[in-house]
Structure 1
Amino acid sequence: MNIAFFLVPKEEVVYLSPNSTIRQALERMEYHRYSAVPLINEEGKYVGTITEGDLLWKLKRSPEIGFEHTHKVNLTDVPQHMNIKPVRIDAQMEDLITLATVQNYVPVIDDNEVFIGIIRRREIIEYCFKLWASRDRDKAAK
């Protein structure tokens, strides 16, 4: 199975620049109801994922910021506590599943390490469930 089958293309993915502010990240996450968003730099490369937890820890450890000043702090100043690893578009299904067991989504990059989209854990689970269900039906039919 080619992992591109599961790809949600970059055009359909909510992402931010590392130069975005905490306020922009909070607003985007709230609007889309996401708890994590990929960070894509000016060259189009995946540079990490910012999570709600990262933002909360930054605000907790920097009380001088306060919510009213979140528009002044770039995401480059927010430590990332989770290392959400990408896969290359030519990765094997086993590599994808290994990452999806510990990540809600897996960023996908091309040969030049340019971000091309994500694969969500949900689609992998749905695909595996359909395979399992069809095998059960095949066994029952015999």
Structure 2
Amino acid sequence: MNITDYSIKKEDIVYVHEDSTLKEALALMETHHFRCIPILDKSATLFRGTIYRQHIYQYIIQKKSLDLPVTHLQKNATKYIYANSSFYQVMFAVRDLPYITILNPDHTFYGILTHRAFETALYRAWGLNADSYILTIELPQNKRGSLAKVTRIIGRYVSISSMISWADKDHKKNYMTMNLDESCDLETLHKIINRLEARDFRVLSTQHTKEIFL
């Protein structure tokens, strides 16, 4: 996954400079209906942090001055990723934030990746934008090569577009969710299921992407 394909570049972002006032930042966020925006240095090259509208509102309630610089209320100064960060680095960085800042390798500001854009990236990466069947299979415990056997069985009939492995909360059971190629029809799906169950692999559910996103 190339996160820059889903990011917003600096030239398309509303931001404030580190010497901008809280009043100026609030005006920008209210005009554009943003809950937060990035703070950059005076040269608009380096990322300094994020200013949130709610924190400025708290200042208003407390009757404090909005003529202070935005750095007075800056947050998330160390919350960023790089344009070449791995999928897992991106996933854990953006999970609790409305957006994550993206830096170039030289540490200069590249842009941002919004939470919603990352969800779109996952949606496409997992093939959920295609008309296809999704299988969820329980893998036998402590049996080496189970995943390889499952993929070989399915591979005899159709390609696998994407797959995700996961375990229950007690790590007592392992599961595999596989998104099959669009060419898989209902007849082929039944052949795959019958073959898997004949090899003692339990198929927990079958769904079509159309059923999920009605």
TM range (shorter): 0.7 to 0.9
Give distance in 2, aligned partners of 1:124 and 1:107. 12
* 3-state SS of 2:73 partner: coil
Question: CA 1:82/1:60 → structure 2, altered by over 3 Å: closer, same or farther?
Answer: farther
Give distance in 1, aligned partners of 2:120 and 2:8. 15
Query: What is the CA deviation profile of residues 31-89 of structure 1, one whole-angstrom value per residue up to 9, with x for unaligned ones?
Result: 1100000000024100100001221233344x253xxxx3x32213x233555611111
Q: Report the aligned-residue RMSD.
A: 2.2
Q: Normalized against structure 1, the TM-score is what?
A: 0.82
Give distance in 2, aligned partners of 1:135 and 1:28. 39
Contact 2:17 2:39 in 1 (8 A): yes
* 3-state SS of 1:14 partner: coil
1:75 counterpart = 2:70: yes
Give the % identical residues.
20
1:109 counterpart = 2:111: no
Partner of 1:6: 6
Q: Point out where structure 2 has 5 or more consecutive residues left out of the alignment.
A: 134-179, 189-214
Alignment of 1:1-142 (within 5 A): 1-43=1-43, 44-61=45-62, 63-65=63-65, 70=66, 72-76=67-71, 78-82=72-76, 85-130=79-124, 131-134=126-129, 137-138=132-133, 139=180, 141=185, 142=188
Q: Which has the higher contact order (CA 8 A, sep 6+)?
A: 1
Question: Which structure: greater strand fraction?
Answer: 2
Structure 1 residue ranges (4+ consecutive) displaced by more than 4 angstroms after TM superposition: 81-84
The range that moved more, 98-107 or 132-141, is: 132-141
Aligned residues between the structures: 135
